[in-house]
Amino acid sequence: MVDIKRVTKRYGSKAVVSDVTVQIEKGKITSFIGPNGAGKSTLLSMISRLIIKDEGEILIEGNDIAKGKGRELAKKISILKQSNNISLRLTVRELVSFGRFPYSQGKLTKEDWKHVDEAIEYMGLEDIQHQYLDQLSGGQRQRAHIAMVIAQDTDYILLDEPLNNLDMKHSVQIMKILRRLADELGKTIIIVIHDINFASVYSDYIVALKDGRVVREGTTNEIINREVLKEIYDMDIAIQNFQNCRFCFYFH
């Protein structure tokens, strides 16, 4: 469980995230939604210690992340940011093998390579595992990065807009994989996501942020309804049920 207690982050005098308290359940997919500038990515970065928080506490299974050792934390929690401009000339397999760094410190054992192979297979990258990252399409590269996170084998996986720049097919593919990671391997997944329909169809729990504060949180069914969405987005959004899923129509 991730326990976020009264966390605040300020840039200058402007609070980007203010006094946020949320609990994130284990083994579920939790989505952070909200308008631009709501503080979703900042909150995600603070959970993964990429950004240092100004106030408050973040506990992962009872342990304060500010006090934990970097290497041990890297075996518990992993993050994938939205922009991954790697200037190195790496093959997919080499990138994925970096996921084992917290365990092997660069000297990979047989056990580590087994994890690398499994991660590559899980993401269906066997055919392109020896290609260089700069030769791949955006979707393939995103999958390679997710494979690295899978090889890292952490209980908690944080993804910042994993569907950014992906077409429909690849978006669905990635969300299905995240669902499998949660259902089959019991991973706890936290994503920042803009497409509200993907959030509705694939997540268990939704946290809605606005102006740095949590405005609503609850199960998907509690959040995806007309009144709540109006409060979050200031838009009147019609909701339709289709094949047991709720869809939002916000196009006009």
In Å, what is the CA distance from 197 to each residue of 24, 46, 175, 244? 21, 26, 12, 13
Which of 21, 61, 64, 71 lies at the binding interface for another protein (CB under 8 A)? 71
Question: Sheet holding 63-64: strands in order across?
Answer: 14-24, 2-11, 55-60, 63-64
Site membership for another protein, residue 106 (CB under 8 A)? yes
Q: Candidates 96-104, 114-122, 189-197, 234-242: pick the segment binding another protein (CB under 8 A).
A: 96-104
Query: Mask of contacts with another protein, 120-159, x by CB under 8 A?
Result: --------------x-----------------x-------
Query: Mask of contacts with another protein, 35-54, x by CB under 8 A?
Result: -------------xxxxx--
In Å, what is the CA distance from 41 to each residue of 62, 173, 178, 197? 23, 22, 18, 19
Q: Nearest distance from residue 194's CB to another protein, in Å?
A: 20
What does the block give as tokens for 65?
């992340």
Site membership for another protein, residue 113 (CB under 8 A)? no
64 three-class SS: strand
Site membership for another protein, residue 87 (CB under 8 A)? yes
Dist CA 56 CA 252 (whole Å): 40
Helix 168-185 to helix 138-152 angle, to the nearest 10 degrees? 10
Give contact residues for another protein (rule: CB under 8 A): 48-52, 70-75, 78-81, 84-90, 94, 98-99, 101-102, 105-107, 134, 152
